């Protein structure tokens, strides 16, 4: 951007220039600084006193040395620079909780407001777009009221899978027997069928199926699941090239072949910088930045180099005397200063932390508004809170104050005490991406060890941050990981060892070829998960799960296996089976801990996950509210507005969502390492 500093060149003007140069370096946003000293030109530009500042032709400052916060405000982009020359496909990805849905939706809305026809697509099984936009999501494009030109499509996994099954069965022709059709339908009942069917829908949108729209904006699942999705075209194309016979868990090979063109076209579109932009979203947080760096490298390995970075939720303290606000701002500044070279090299946008939740069209439009709009953020937040609550913001705040102490049963130390009393069992820590599941799981595992228990701490998350969070070894604590690649190879070796002796060389080659199918991984991960679940019969197993959508697919596989076992044992008198699903349903064996943040979206998704679990006859044991700032004492206007929202969410939880709630306060030092995590489960 072009910045003109108007003045005589005195020390005040030099100070203003130095502040601008420093902020440009800190934010990574380049600018051209032009000194204007001619009195006539200064007057023409509208300045009445100096030093004054003109940015891109607009007078933004007049008559005194600008403060650091004023200068910082000039470097907050008016929207995203990627909107200046947007490609047809915009693909938002990143760690859970960084704001992908908010930013992708706000971007789609901005494009539609600019007169474009836009389709916003969710590939996340746990999407909250319905709440954000106030509409019912469907597997067909749905217009958004109040936003002409914007349609929303949710790729529903179950609907996509059923559509896929019908297409494959239709290819079998009239000569196929009922038995053959039943066999194929059974083959198409697994979680991997759901995954590839969802990808088939996604691939269609990267082709001519979306030609009615100027732009297609994708709101994706958290990074690990999204990378799996993006790797599918390459994996399946290779499998199809090497395998021209037989069947897989996706049905007859002919059914797969009909997808091959889709796969290759999708891969080509993803890597075409003229058509597609991959937007890596992060927050000024070390963990989120590390995951963005990992995604950047993984995407490049897939041949997808057309990436850019958006840092969401950048916070600057407005009062130097507010210790909490300054500590939060400093943590963010340090994280951004240490931005890895691979991310620093990408085109970059930064979006400030807003005082309001991004629910509703006004808030979504305000998210990418110019910096000046931040002055009205607190007022907007109050109006939105009152509107959503059906009354005044003050009444909402008053109603929550009395509810807080009644509901909360203490911190993680109290939860660890309750869990330890069982002696053994499975503890599954679940929730939306980015809410702190790994921190809570690691802390609870340490708390149980401190209470004399033997503990196996593991994770099903493809992003797997357990080792980095613990950063040390503890006697009595076994730390593991269900690694998809390791488990897949172990599963293949096991099947080959069991079946090879009865096969000839050609049959062994065919079996190994079929086992190279990418969906073998889903089966292998489920078997590893089942084994870990069984270990809780004699010890504690604490399982840090993948973000909600991916975990639900694993739960679907668990349910499918249960139904298969029940069918196989039906009619066997005296036979008794105990499936993993039955163990999850046993409240004396399994305790589900749902983790959330004190914000609308995480609480809504925790509630939706709880509903899904209850439909499977699994009752969550407790909720953990992470990063609470209610007791911090901050008076920063942005944080104070967010505290109003936190009180509202506390009231919502108190209204019947959780039987037990434990609160984890915000900490100025990240809970990383054995010492810091142990503090979370130690009584004050």
* Token pair recorded at residue 218: 């994708």
Q: Are 344 and 28 in contact (CB under 8 A)?
A: yes
To the query of whether residue 107 is one of the catalytic residues in this protein, the response is no
In sequence order, the β-bridge partners of residue 412 are none
Is 97 annotated in the active site?
A: yes
Q: Are 668 and 627 in contact (CB under 8 A)?
A: no
Using alpha carbons only, how large is the chain's radius of gyration in Å?
A: 27
Other beta carbons within 10 angstroms of residue 63's beta carbon come to 10
Decide if 601 is catalytic: yes
Q: Which one, of 473, 615, 634, 623, lies nearest residue 555 by Cα?
A: 615
User: Of the residues 124, 200, 461, 636, which is catalytic?
Assistant: 124
CA distance 130 to 461: 26
Is 122 part of the annotated catalytic residue set? no
How far separated are the first and last CA of the chain, in Å rounded?
A: 51
CA-nearest of 280, 343, 305 to 95 is: 280
State the catalytic residue, choosing from 7, 94, 99, 332.
99
Strands 540-544 and 425-430: parallel
Max Cα-Cα span within the chain? 100
| Number of other residues whose CB lies within 10 A of the CB of residue 230 | 23
Catalytic residue, chosen from 101, 210, 358, 397, is: 101
Q: Match 């897949």 to its residue by tokens.
A: 488
Catalytic residue among 19, 50, 358, 601: 601
Which spans in 95-190 are helix H?
A: 100-113, 129-133, 157-171, 178-187
Task: List CB contacts of 370: < 8 A, sequence separation 6 or more.
Answer: 76, 78, 79
Q: Which of 100, 453, 627, 648 is catalytic?
A: 100
Parallel, antiparallel, or unpaired: how do β-strands 590-596 and 622-628 relate? parallel
What is the secondary structure of 406-469 as a DSSP string? HHB--SHHHHHHHHHTTSSEEEEEE-STTSSHHHHHHHHHHHHHHTT--EEEEE--TT--HHHH
Q: Which of 94, 96, 97, 431 is catalytic?
A: 97
The DSSP letter of residue 82 is G
Kindly state the DSSP code that residue 502 receives in the 8-state scheme. Answer: G
Specify whether 520 is catalytic.
Answer: no
Q: Which residues are catalytic?
A: 97, 99-102, 124, 601
């Amino acid at each position: 951007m072009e910045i003109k500093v108007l003045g005589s060149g005195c020390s005040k003007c030099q100070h203003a220039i130095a502040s601008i140069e420093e902020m440009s370096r800190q934010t990574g946003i380049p600018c051209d600084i032009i000194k204007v000293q001619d009195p006539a030109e200064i007057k023409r530009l509208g300045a009445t006193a100096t030093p004054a500042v003109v940015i891109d032709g607009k007078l933004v400052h007049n008559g005194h040395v600008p403060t650091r916060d004023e200068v910082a405000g000039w470097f907050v982009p008016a929207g995203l620079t990627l909107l200046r020359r947007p490609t047809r496909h915009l693909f938002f990805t990143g760690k859970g909780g960084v704001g992908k849905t908010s930013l992708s939706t706000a971007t789609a809305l901005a494009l539609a407001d600019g007169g474009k026809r836009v389709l916003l697509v969710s590939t996340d099984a746990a999407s909250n777009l319905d709440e954000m936009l106030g509409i019912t999501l469907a597997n067909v494009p749905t217009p958004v009221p109040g936003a002409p030109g914007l349609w929303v499509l949710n790729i529903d996994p179950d609907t996509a899978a059923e559509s896929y099954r019908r297409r494959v069965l239709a290819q079998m022709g009239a000569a196929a027997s009922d038995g053959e059709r039943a066999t194929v339908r059974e083959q198409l009942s697994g979680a991997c069928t759901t995954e590839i069917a969802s990808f088939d829908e996604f691939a269609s949108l990267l082709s001519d199926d979306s030609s009615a729209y100027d732009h297609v904006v994708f709101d994706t699942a958290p990074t690990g699941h999204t990378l799996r999705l993006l790797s599918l075209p390459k994996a399946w194309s290779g499998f199809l090239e090497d395998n021209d016979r037989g069947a897989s868990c996706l049905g007859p090979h002919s059914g797969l072949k009909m997808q091959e063109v889709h796969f290759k076209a999708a891969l080509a579109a993803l890597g075409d910088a003229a058509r597609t932009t991959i937007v890596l979203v992060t927050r000024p947080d070390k963990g989120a930045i590390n995951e963005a760096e990992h995604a950047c490298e993984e995407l490049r390995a897939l041949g997808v180099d057309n990436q850019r970075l958006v840092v969401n939720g950048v916070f600057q303290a407005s009062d130097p005397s507010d210790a909490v606000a300054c500590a939060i701002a400093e943590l963010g500044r340090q994280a951004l200063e240490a931005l890895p070279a691979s991310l620093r090299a990408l085109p970059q946008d930064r979006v400030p932390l807003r005082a309001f939740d991004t629910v509703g069209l006004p808030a979504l439009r305000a998210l990418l508004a110019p910096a000046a709009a931040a002055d009205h953020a607190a007022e907007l937040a109050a109006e939105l809170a009152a509107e959503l609550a059906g009354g005044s913001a003050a009444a909402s705040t008053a109603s929550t104050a009395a509810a807080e102490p009644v509901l909360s049963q203490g911190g993680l130390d109290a939860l660890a005490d309750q869990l330890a009393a069982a002696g053994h069992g499975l503890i599954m820590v679940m929730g939306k991406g980015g809410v702190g599941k790994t921190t809570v799981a690691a802390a609870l595992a340490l708390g149980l060890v401190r209470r004399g228990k033997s503990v196996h701490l593991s994770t099903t998350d493809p992003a797997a941050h357990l080792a980095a969070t613990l950063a040390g070894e503890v006697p009595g604590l076994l730390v593991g990981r269900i690694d998809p690649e390791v488990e897949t190879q172990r599963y293949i070796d096991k099947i080959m060892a069991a079946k090879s002796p009865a096969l000839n060389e050609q049959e062994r080659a065919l079996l190994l070829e079929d086992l190279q199918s990418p969906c073998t991984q889903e089966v292998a991960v489920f078997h590893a998960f089942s084994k870990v679940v069984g270990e809780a019969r004699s010890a504690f197993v604490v399982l840090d799960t993948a973000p909600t959508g991916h975990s639900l697919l694993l739960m679907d596989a668990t349910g499918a296996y249960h139904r298969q076992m029940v069918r196989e044992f039906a009619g066997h008198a005296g036979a008794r089976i105990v499936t993993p699903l039955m163990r999850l349903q046993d409240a004396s064996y399994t305790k589900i801990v749902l983790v959330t943040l004190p914000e609308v979206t995480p609480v809504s998704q925790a509630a939706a996950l709880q509903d899904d679990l209850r439909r499977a006859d699994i009752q969550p044991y407790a909720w953990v509210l992470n990063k609470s700032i209610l007791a911090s004492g901050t008076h920063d206007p942005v944080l104070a507005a967010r505290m109003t929202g936190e009180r509202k969410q506390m009231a919502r939880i108190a209204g019947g969502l959780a039987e037990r709630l434990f609160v984890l306060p915000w900490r100025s030092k990240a809970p990383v390492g054995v010492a810091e995590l142990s503090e979370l489960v130690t009584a004050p």
